[in-house]
Structure 1
Amino acid sequence: MDKTDPDYAPLDPVTARQRMVDAQIRPAQVSNPAVIAAMRALPRELAVPPALRAFAYSDRSLPLGEGRYLTEPRVTGRMLQVAEIRPGERVLVVGGGTGYVAALLYGMGQGLAVTALESERRLADIGRAFCQQWAPGVQWRDGPLVKGDAADAPYDLILVDGAVRHVPPALLAQLADGGRIVAPICPDGGVTSVSLILPTPQGSAVQPLFDAAVPMLPELAPAPAFVF
Structure 2
Amino acid sequence: MVDFEHARRAMVDSQLRTTNVTDRRILAAMGRIPRENFVPEARRPIAYIDESHGFGALAPGRFLPAPSPFAKLVQLAEIGPGDHILDVGAGTGYSTAVLAALGAEVVGVEREAKLVEQARANLASLGIANAKVVEGAHDRAPKGRFDVIVLEGAVTSVPEAFFTSLGEDGRLVALVQTGVTAVAHLFVKAGKTVTSRAEFNANLPPLEAPRPREDFVF
State TM-score, norm by structure 1.
0.85
Pair 1:91 & 2:85 matched: yes
Pair 1:122 & 2:122 matched: no
Distance 1:53 1:206 in 2: 37
Counterparts in 2 of 1:14 and 1:23: CA distance versus 1, 3 Å: same
Q: How many residues align?
A: 207
Which residue of structure 2 aligns with residue 79 of structure 1? 73
* Contact in 2 for aligned 1:89/1:157 (Cα 8 Å): yes
Counterparts of residues 148-167 of structure 1 (less than 5 Å): 148-149=141-142, 151=143, 153-167=144-158
Cα displacement (A) at 1:137:
2.1
What whole-Å deviation, never above 9, does each CA across 1:109-149 have from its counterpart, x for those lacking one?
A: xx511110111101111111111122232122221121111
* Contact in 1 for aligned 2:151/2:207 (Cα 8 Å): no
Which residue of structure 2 aligns with residue 67 of structure 1? 61
Structure 2: runs of 5+ lacking an equivalent: 212-218
Cα displacement (A) at 1:190:
4.3
What whole-Å deviation, never above 9, does each CA across 1:150-207 have from its counterpart, x for those lacking one?
A: x2x11000000011111101111000011110011112x1410111123478974331
Counterparts of residues 79-228 of structure 1 (less than 5 Å): 79-108=73-102, 112-134=104-126, 135-149=128-142, 151=143, 153-187=144-178, 189-199=179-189, 204-218=194-208
Structure 1: runs of 5+ lacking an equivalent: 1-9, 222-228
Cα displacement (A) at 1:77:
1.3
State TM-score, norm by structure 2.
0.88
- Once the two structures are overlaid, the 10-residue window that deviates more, 194-203 or 123-132, is 194-203
Identity of aligned residues (%): 34
Counterparts in 2 of 1:138 and 1:95: CA distance versus 1, 3 Å: same
Larger Rg: 1
Give the RMSD, CA atoms, in angstroms.
2.0
**Higher strand content, 1 or 2:** 2
